[in-house]
Amino acid sequence: MVLRYTEVFVAIATVNLESLISFYTQVLSEKPSTLIPNVYAEFQLMGLRLGIFQPKQSHELEFENSTKSKISLCLEVSNLEAAIAHLTNLGYPPPGEISIASHGREIYAYDPDGNRLILHQDKGVNRQ
């Protein structure tokens, strides 16, 4: 048997739904394309759907007691310093320093639930 699928997207579970919706609305500079109050928000990004949902009450403890991020959302940016400044202005400055990897420069930041954002600038991209 083969698993047949039509699409793949990322979904983040949170008990702090409004906080994460606000955070990603500001970071991505766009409103959710789908919004079901107190339940779900979805952002249509280039090549990706990002869903954020409130778990059912029977599953909330599973997410409240999580102390480590379960996902890393990698955002490739054209200007790493501008992206850092944007997150800093939102009150979520990256806690570390820019690192140099074989594929370019990057820095880690975190959303209000502690999910890791990897801000990455390809080494072939000139800073603007």
Q: Strand 40-45 vs strand 34-36: parallel, antiparallel, or unpaired?
A: antiparallel
Query: For the chain, what is the mean pLDDT?
Result: 86
Domains of the chain (ranges plus CATH)?
Answer: 1-66 (3.30.720.120), 68-128 (3.10.180.10)
pLDDT surpasses 90 at 111: yes
Question: What's the rounded Cα separation, in Å, for the pair 95 and 105?
Answer: 15
pLDDT tens per residue, range 6-47: 777 888 988 899 999 999 999 999 999 999 999 999 999 988
Predicted confidence band of residue 71 (pLDDT cuts 50, 70, 90)? confident
What's at 36, amino acid-wise? I
Predicted confidence band of residue 63 (pLDDT cuts 50, 70, 90)? low
Residue 62's pLDDT is 63
Model's pTM, two decimal places?
0.79
Residue 93's pLDDT is 96
pLDDT surpasses 60 at 126: no
Q: Strand 72-76 vs strand 116-122: parallel, antiparallel, or unpaired?
A: parallel
What's at 68, amino acid-wise? K
Q: In what order do the strands lie in the sheet containing 99-101?
A: 72-76, 116-122, 104-110, 99-101
pLDDT tens per residue, range 76-86: 899 999 999 99
pLDDT tens per residue, range 112-125: 988 889 899 987 76
